[in-house]
Amino acid sequence: MSDRGLWFKGDECVVATARQTRFTTLDGIRGVAALSVVQYHSSDLFGIELSSSYLAVDLFFMLSGIVLSHSYEQRMRAGLSLKSFILARAIRLYPLYVAGTLAGVAFFLANHYLGHGTGSLVGLAPALALGLLFLPTPAGWVLANTDVFPLLYPAWSLFFELLVNLLYAVMLPVLSLRVLILVIGFGAVLVVQSAFQFDGLNSGFNWSNFSGGFGRVIFSYFTGVLLVRFLPKWRGNGLCAATCVVALVLIFAAPMSGKYRVIFDLIVVLVVFPVLSFVSAASEGGAGLRQAFVFIGSLSYAVYTLHAPVLWWLRGIVPRALGGVQLSQLSPLSGLCSIIFLSLLAFMMDRCFDSPIRRRLTVWLHPQFRRLERSGSIGRASEPM
């Protein structure tokens, strides 16, 4: 299990346009993907591994391109400033990111002072300072860890998300269809190169494979931007929506290795995910399915951002409470209980911490955002992360 994190964005898939559009199936696949990431990083607690779940990061980048382009592109062309757009994205991502980072710091400190950690914590303070600025930590600063964000390893994808948001906003005035296709083609070349360099697309999270993240985010995000420009007027039914979710789970569960891993990853990211995202964006289930999708989608960012420190703490606390019994010895019950606990925590953090703080930041940092919040584009927007 080497891919350290993925990403998506919280709340319902609602985009603020003249006519409100809710991409409920995108909510559903984002929520399922979030839970798949948790399972991937705790497969020993379940007794099984969804070995291709790291590809969820590419899907999340693609969903981000769809949703943010649909929500913001017309208003940015009409005069919404670059500063306002980036500030809106930072407000969306930052509160839960900080909460997860601080929980990670607390774990490192507790583990060290209880005598279970190895190495020096000298670099912890500067690593925290960089982390609070949403900047990567140099390798080895925290207990010889070489993850790009050792205090909250899933944050590597959030870092790439902010980078591509900035790139998109800067390029938007010249982002014609021809330019967009050229950018996607460039990203595809980078994806192919990194897949062969790193024996698959499990890259971007560690300094040893950090360069692989650039191709993944450029191709997937701008493919999402392209897809939203061609969304059809027809709407798929509940069968289409459910099929997309089932197909996603089957993709994540696919066991691949060796040369087949590289080919599989490339086919999924370059071909299957664009088709899946397009059909999902154009499909909508019945009332019950829509409500379920919206609910799991609303928890997805909190689940994703908090799952790493939660798993660290559970692995540290539970064995002490059970007399040395490891969580992996209790699989799959320990995995199920971990998912339930994390989901409840995510629900509470989203409702009682993240949403209220973002509303206050929106009003405090920029008066213009009051109008954006009322329109639904901040806080309740369909944003993968």
Domain membership of residue 127 (yes or no) is no
C-alpha closest to that of 26 among 43, 14, 13? 13
> What is the residue whose two structure tokens read 């902010």?
162
- Residue 4: per-residue pLDDT: 43
Range of the domain at 221: 14-111+147-375
Domain membership of residue 120 (yes or no) is no
- Residue 370: per-residue pLDDT: 57
Residues 284 and 236: beta-carbon distance below 8 Å: yes
- d(C-alpha 223, C-alpha 226), whole Å: 5
Residues 211 and 160: beta-carbon distance below 8 Å: no
Domain membership of residue 121 (yes or no) is no
C-alpha closest to that of 358 among 25, 30, 90? 90
Both tokens of 105, joined, read: 């710091």
* SS3 per residue for 365-382: HCCHHHHHHHHCCCCCCC
Domain membership of residue 253 (yes or no) is yes
Both tokens of 52, joined, read: 């291709």
C-alpha closest to that of 225 among 175, 270, 269? 175
- Residue 324: per-residue pLDDT: 83
Helix (H, G, I), strand (E, B) or coil at 383: coil
Provide the domain count of the chain: 1
pLDDT in tens, the chain (385 residues): 444 443 333 334 444 333 346 799 999 999 999 999 999 999 999 999 899 999 999 999 999 999 999 989 988 888 888 988 999 999 999 999 999 999 999 998 888 787 666 666 778 899 999 999 999 999 888 777 899 999 999 999 999 999 999 999 999 999 999 999 999 999 999 999 999 999 999 999 999 999 999 999 999 999 999 999 998 877 788 899 999 999 999 999 999 888 899 999 999 999 999 999 999 999 988 899 999 999 999 999 999 999 999 999 999 888 887 888 889 999 999 999 999 999 999 999 999 999 999 989 888 876 655 555 455 444 443 455 5
- Residue 195: per-residue pLDDT: 97
Domain membership of residue 122 (yes or no) is no
- Residue 63: per-residue pLDDT: 97
Domain membership of residue 31 (yes or no) is yes
Identify the H or E element spanning 15. Answer: strand 14-15
- Residue 352: per-residue pLDDT: 96
Q: Tell whether pTM > 0.85.
A: yes
Domain membership of residue 124 (yes or no) is no
Largest pairwise CA distance in the chain: 63
